[in-house]
Amino acid sequence: MTIHWPLRTLATVATAGAALVLTATAASAAGPGSYTLAATTGATFSVLSTGNLVNVDTDDSLHPLSTSGHGLGRLPFPVHAFDQTYQNIVVDSNGNIRLGTKGAATLSADVNGCLTTAAFGGSPDLMAYWDDLTFRTADTSHGFPDGIFTKTSGTAPHRKFVVSWQGTENVTQVPVLAQVVFQEGSQTVQYVYGTDGGASATVGIQSKQQLTSTQWTCSSGSATAVTAGLRITATHSEGTPPM
């Protein structure tokens, strides 16, 4: 079953668990454009155990990745969103990714807010599970390895790059499994979830300079704001969304 919702710049939709797919079109002189959302069920979350960006207990940290980087700091290919190409991203331990920045002038955003927000400065941001998250690398009590993992799979020009947050909410200790999946040469991005939760989290996407944003949930209070197995497809349109 596929569910379609009209896009609004500040749309909040409460739902059960998610994988978010973002698809954009060619560059536009009119601005970054906007996204519409469609949801399906049946997504699979693959827990990662190698490629950990952290090797000690972590709270409120930033991890820059670049196409010119090496080792775990390597971004295997440029990523695309909002009609732009980015060779630098910053992975925030608090469940979001900033595009087109090296992180030198930014801070980890442990207090989430609803969209639009100026918390990320002027950079575009992908919020898979924006909340105050913690990672205890020696803790296996919730059945998966803790950490912020990355993985590249496939062969060029059809590779996929995964960033996987595997930890807990800092306040509630609710387990969190959330991923962003980039596809090489495409403005399609997936958010994939392996646990129920998100009651205090923000899930969405925001363009540079807060020009447009699409919100899936924001501190809804629902323990099933995201759940394992739901897939959301966000499709890019030029211009601003209808009100």
Residue 219 pLDDT > 80: yes
Structure-block tokens of residue 175: 């387990």
Q: Which amino acid is at 12?
A: T
Supply the mean pLDDT for the chain.
84
Burial (Cβ within 10 Å: 0-12, 13-18, ≥19) of residue 240 = middle
Read off the pLDDT of each residue in 137-161 and give the average, rounded to a whole number. 94
Structure-block tokens of residue 142: 């919730």
For the chain, the straight-line distance linking the first and the last C-alpha, in angstroms and rounded, comes to 26
> What's the rounded Cα separation, in Å, for the pair 34 and 196?
28
**Centroid of chain to Cα 164:** 9
Predicted model pTM: 0.86
Residue 154 pLDDT > 60: yes
> What's the rounded Cα separation, in Å, for the pair 25 and 4?
19
Read off the pLDDT of each residue in 219-230 and give the average, rounded to a whole number. 92
Q: Which residue has the higher pLDDT, 48 or 233?
A: 48
Per the CB < 8 A criterion, the answer to whether 56 and 148 are in contact is no
pLDDT value at residue 140: 82
Per the CB < 8 A criterion, the answer to whether 100 and 78 are in contact is no
